[in-house]
Amino acid sequence: MAGIGWKLQRMIDRGSLAGTIGAYLTGVAVTSAPWLLTTLVLTSLRVVARRSGTDFAVVERFLTVVYAVTVILSAPVHVVVSRYTADRLYDHHVEKIGAPLRRATAAILVGFALIGVLLVVFMKLPLGLAVVGAPLTAIIGAQWLMLAVGGGMTSPLIVLRAFGLGAPLGLGAAWALDTTFGFGPAGYLYGFAAGQLATLAGEKTVSAASSVSNWYMSAPNAASAASSSSQRREPKHRE
């Protein structure tokens, strides 16, 4: 991902074993942790559904298609937005990240909501599943975007905190909706959607906090650079 490579290279350039191990662990946290946590939740949902006698096949099939479609179709947007984010961090203009990111997120949500409608129609989902299927598609599409932005901001904790919050919440909500309220397969999809929505909200919140933190850290550097530049130009002005 754009941006995270700079941080990993600085860690490796320290020339120590701790720096090298830290670089590998940071790379794993950004690239693999979301997939591992999501896979763990989906596997856990399947195990719980089997124990309760619920037919989880239709939900699993729909989620597989949704993840495949969203990650492929949203990839071009991720590349552009993560590259832009990394560039703004590099030139100390973090304040320019927010507006383009909001526009990209809105476009992703609207676009994948429409794609979600097409998917539920194409797969002929029952109405109870179709109602949440389209919004879930939009949420997952936006998650991929925020994951790319987290890499561009060199902030793997955005990923870990958000997915660490949403994964157990989705599993617990799915189990409760099925066993306690008798929603059946729809309960698993609704519960999973709730967990993914919490993950997306966590990514947005921590990303905003990270932007502010990076801005405060970069502002003194930018001011110092501007001061040095003006001092270098001052003798020429006097001449």
The number of distinct structural domains making up the chain is 1
Residue with tokens 């860690």: 11
Helical axes 127-152 vs 17-31, angle rounded to 10°:
150
Domain that holds residue 175: 34-214
Distance CA 188, CA 174 (A): 4
Inside any domain, residue 183: yes
Question: pLDDT in tens for each of the 239 residues of the chain?
Answer: 445 565 666 777 777 877 778 777 777 766 676 677 778 777 887 787 777 666 788 888 999 899 889 989 998 888 888 788 878 877 878 788 888 888 999 999 999 999 999 999 999 998 889 999 999 999 999 988 887 777 666 566 666 777 778 888 888 898 888 888 888 888 888 998 998 898 888 776 655 545 544 444 444 444 444 444 444 444 444 44
Inside any domain, residue 180: yes
Inside any domain, residue 28: no
Residue 47: predicted pLDDT:
81
Inside any domain, residue 27: no
Inside any domain, residue 166: yes
Inside any domain, residue 100: yes
CA end-to-end span of the chain, whole Å? 48
Inside any domain, residue 73: yes
Rounded to two decimals, what is the model's pTM? 0.75
Inside any domain, residue 87: yes
